[in-house]
Amino acid sequence: MAGVDSGIMFPAERLRGWTQDVFQKVGVSRDDAILLTDSLIEANLRGVDTHGITRMLCVYVERIQKGVMSAKSNLTVVREKASTALIDCHNSIGQVGAARAMQMAIEKARLTGVAFTAAAHTNHYGAAAYWAMMALPSGMIGFASTNAPAVVAPTGGRTAMFGTNPICIAIPADKELPVVPDMATTVVARGRINLYAKQNKPLEPGWAIDEHGIPTTDPHAALKGLLAPIGGYKGYGIMLAVDFLCGVLTGSNYGTHFPGFLADNMIDPTDVGSVFAAVNIESFMDLPEFTAAIDKAVREIKTSTRTDGVERIYIPGEIEFEMKAQRLAHGIPIPEEVVKDFINLGRELALPFPQV
């Protein structure tokens, strides 16, 4: 999990209120600030702190303040058919374009069975699971993916050509939890390396290599080097496909054409592309029949024979659902260094960061 192990505990709602105020203070509309904040706080609650306010808040604010990302939403549907749509986001906040694209996919899938939408010329949209899971209340399977600045070399290469390019599929169940695999196509997301560097924590072996091509557990060295793809050449193939779908198909940036990483580039828009899909289960079978079958399959997996020393088999997304319940009860941990950043940001905006 891309989370933090320790920190100062803050109630989620206290962080939510302050974060919404921060975004509105830098020019984001109230409705957009609520959406943007919810996507980030939800990531923190689910333990995906690399995509929560822990890492993204100060970066988003700086990009807005410097005019690199537009605080005002400007979305234009430039191509549309019965089951597809392409939205030009004109450098709007990534979450705003993602919400519009995913909602359109859901609405279209009600009529056509399956729908595929895309957001072009947009920005970082947080955790992919937030958007894929939008389909669940409608009894649909959701899909979300996006591309990112290059941090991975192709198999056999030494030049960074692909981003972490995450994908997420959200599948509804009945009595069991939804199945939600949400993953970068690298072993870990670059945001996790950033978070470890912030805490001066060593990386796990196999996560990254340094600028000389040598495997490293030093997060600071890893930030100057490359990340490792999942599954070797297979991961390379998946991230290439994501980059072509999200970047080339939408007319947005891809590969080496990105101007730099979010926290490092405060001059040019990132210009990422994102794709979304919704599958109306009723197009294939009755929803209760499907969710009951998913329940059965989930239970078969969870009760299958375990390896020695393993107490429990998890379904993708299960740890995050349990983490959310825990953090709602006990608070979200914010590392001390990040708390200092929030205090400084609060002073700058005359919005004092809430006390513990």
Considering the domain architecture, whether residues 15 and 163 belong to the same structural domain is answered as: no
Q: Does residue 60 fall inside a structural domain?
A: yes
Q: Does residue 305 fall inside a structural domain?
A: no
Q: Does residue 133 fall inside a structural domain?
A: yes
pLDDT recorded at residue 213: 81
Answer whether residue 356 shows pLDDT above 70. yes
Answer whether residue 153 shows pLDDT above 80. yes
Name the most confidently modeled range: 114-123, 227-236, 260-269: 114-123
pLDDT band, very low/low/confident/very high, at 158 (cuts 50, 70, 90) = confident
Q: Does residue 293 fall inside a structural domain?
A: no
Answer whether residue 106 shows pLDDT above 90. yes
CATH number at residue 56: 1.10.1530.10
pLDDT recorded at residue 277: 98
Domain count, the chain: 3
pLDDT recorded at residue 221: 93
Considering the domain architecture, whether residues 22 and 86 belong to the same structural domain is answered as: no
CATH number at residue 133: 3.30.1370.60
Checking phi first, is residue 215 left (phi over 0); if not, alpha (psi -120 to 50) or beta? Answer: beta
Answer whether residue 5 shows pLDDT above 80. no
13-22 own/partner pairs: CB under 8 Å, 24+ apart: 14/354, 15/41, 15/44, 15/53, 15/332, 15/334, 15/354, 16/41, 17/354, 18/346, 18/351, 18/353, 18/354, 19/53, 19/57, 21/351, 22/57, 22/61, 22/345, 22/346, 22/349, 22/351
Q: What is the mean pLDDT of the chain?
A: 95
Distance CA 225, CA 219 (A): 10
Considering the domain architecture, whether residues 134 and 87 belong to the same structural domain is answered as: yes
Considering the domain architecture, whether residues 215 and 331 belong to the same structural domain is answered as: no
Among 334, 344, 243, 239, residue whose Cα is nearest residue 7: 334
Q: Does residue 209 fall inside a structural domain?
A: yes
Q: Which residue has the higher pLDDT, 199 or 324?
A: 324
Answer whether residue 320 shows pLDDT above 70. yes
pLDDT recorded at residue 355: 84
Answer whether residue 241 shows pLDDT above 80. yes
Considering the domain architecture, whether residues 158 and 121 belong to the same structural domain is answered as: yes
Considering the domain architecture, whether residues 192 and 179 belong to the same structural domain is answered as: no
Tally the residues of the chain: 356
Considering the domain architecture, whether residues 114 and 256 belong to the same structural domain is answered as: yes
pLDDT per residue as tens digits for the range 287-314: 999 999 999 999 999 999 999 999 999 9
Q: Does residue 98 fall inside a structural domain?
A: yes
pLDDT recorded at residue 2: 65
Answer whether residue 192 shows pLDDT above 90. no
Q: Does residue 302 fall inside a structural domain?
A: no
Q: Does residue 25 fall inside a structural domain?
A: yes
Mean pLDDT of 69-80: 98
Q: Which domain holds residue 211?
A: 187-228
Considering the domain architecture, whether residues 241 and 138 belong to the same structural domain is answered as: yes
Considering the domain architecture, whether residues 151 and 267 belong to the same structural domain is answered as: yes
Considering the domain architecture, whether residues 261 and 130 belong to the same structural domain is answered as: yes
Lowest mean pLDDT of 38-42, 143-147, 152-156, name the range: 152-156
Q: Which residue has the higher pLDDT, 241 or 210?
A: 241
Considering the domain architecture, whether residues 120 and 268 belong to the same structural domain is answered as: yes
pLDDT recorded at residue 209: 87
Answer whether residue 1 shows pLDDT above 60. no
Mean pLDDT of 147-165: 92
Considering the domain architecture, whether residues 248 and 152 belong to the same structural domain is answered as: yes
